Structure 1
């Protein structure tokens, strides 16, 4: 009887375990958060492809390279509409590209994006979204210098693409495609100045000029083909910036090549390397012990590689054509460091726009706004400044039922009779006035208060502290800083 009772208990325990595993067992069964699988930076913008196939873009956006359909700089990453199942992104200068699992390629931004005139909401700031590069199919890898690009095909061959303009209409651009002969078994490629370098399956590196210096133009199909071997074997990765290329040998040693050096040469102090990437005149290195290193190689003969402080347990690394890089730590956090011009590091804050961030910091999570249970989207950028949410006036206020207005103050004798902007927010029985003086002055229902409220400016737009305003107006707000979800109104209860 004891044995039978024990057997029954064991069976019940096993059933419980099976049900727990199948059902997920609470948090253990919750859907895993998407992780970055590919990240790339241009001159001052960034792209990230995620494990769920989505893509986010942020930063400098004059040409629509952030992919949000505007030319408004975005200090917070936004999800790019129309892109699904993406496995790699490639940014260069002010252009952006994405590759999906089917081998199709999409491009947007400078030269590759369209201008949309007379849009009702954005008559001068509307931009087209990603457009398919129809001459590229069955692609496995992309690289670009921001103008031209090389697609490595799934059969191990490569195709050069570049923009070309109609002789009779220099505003009409078309993409030209040129298969590159003489090299097979290609795994990846980079563009180094006027040269293309190819890493093959056998670990060799081949070099082919993609520019006809005699004719002063990019390579044509009729041009003679000369393929040089830079390394016969033993190379596991290549990267480039400008005219310089860097080769990572299988033993962890880093090599440098350019037309002046003729042959790749070993770099002192850059051994035990797991992965390398580049920025503008910068080499970023991830060592096998999980530390990050940087070499500003054109900063003088005495400049040496240095360890990036605060970067521990790093598992992946990505670069840019700007002066910043990105890394992934073992917790799955996407980090950025360097010179984050125009929000290229996606810190969310204009206060660090032009700072050189020497210690990697988290890339801000995309923000999603729910007002009374309904999703609200807006064109302008949001911000996270000093730990607070900031939004432009044309964002969530209309959906909340808040009436926003801007007038001019009376002449202020303390400031040579200058007239300041006065913003008003009316909701329920409360009217808030913010006089944009220095410091700002706050009025509630016509009475001046001693409370402080600070306005900011991002993308040439006044930004308002959303949490402060909601508290003053009696509007519920909840913000999940990890997921980026913001609930306002009834949805925040």
Structure 2
């Protein structure tokens, strides 16, 4: 029989004791916890139920996961997923370019972590105006169907007659409408397939209906397709000219051209689309009374046409036509652009707004109406910060702010600023109100279309509002709405 002898004075004792204890068994450690936490996706741009102004823009947001990201991708509408490098990191910034289609879009971001947990986040947003306002007519798109109302002396309602309508009426013959643009006595619609349709006044060939080299000034009482355009993503309507932004970033124009507002290097009216000379990589286009402007993807602003009121922001004014695009000096980081009859607004990345051009009614917002009737170079709109979008027409201006309020300035004799009074404002001082006593701002608007003396606006919950001058049914309120009357507070417009 062998006996195990242990020398307690020897050095190897601790190791031997541990071995003996191990032979008798030890308590097993608890298994590691299973990671069931899905990646966290945060999208900041675009916002859900928002409207975007640019034909191309950068998505912003983050994706995070404590165990590390394995896969990350995004998908726009019905397109194929686009992979983004995850590389096992715990945090990935979302920063990629998106080129939406006109109308409703859905962006989906998908992430999977190294433990197999998955997450999906989606946002719906709209590119292009869903409302429109001209001299005294208006319109709105709902589920791809266009409704119009108001004055119809030149067939601008698209209803096949010249009879006014005080209530919204469905425009027949147009389906799958993605965006609209109204001005003066003309109307334009873009269908989801990229086709462009125009109707209304055509005295200068501004409906673009002629064959190349020909003329056509026939009034159109119903929407008629502009020949040769099948890739439109956005459009603008001036006093008697129109502009179309194509998917590849070039711009075409048609209509009156006496001041070079078509940008084709001539002052010859064109009754058919012609390309704007030397202008590429455009993401936003607008048209004023006799001028035009565009934002390029690099955030610069380019202008052409009339400069009688300093419309072009070049530091001077003159009566000469400017028939090719010129860059506005010193403006960078512009993310939205709007214009009235003869003034322009530029929204900067930091939420401030610059303005230039005619200022007789205080529409530039610099607090100096009357002292000087115009500004030849951009000046800052006073007291306005955290702006997210700008709108203008006639002699008034508006800006949406991050808190959801809409602020206006400029002419207000017809209550077009929506502040409950008819007092002109040379700086933004009061937001558009639902009621005056007690004051309650109208918040949640996502699309605003000023006309000459009235405004049409869309609320993100689907409601429509109108305010300003009521003539010929311009506010769409039906037979109960007074004619030749100012409505300085928003009135609801009900679609059929």
Length-normalised TM-score, structure 1: 0.48
The answer to which structure has the higher helix fraction is 1
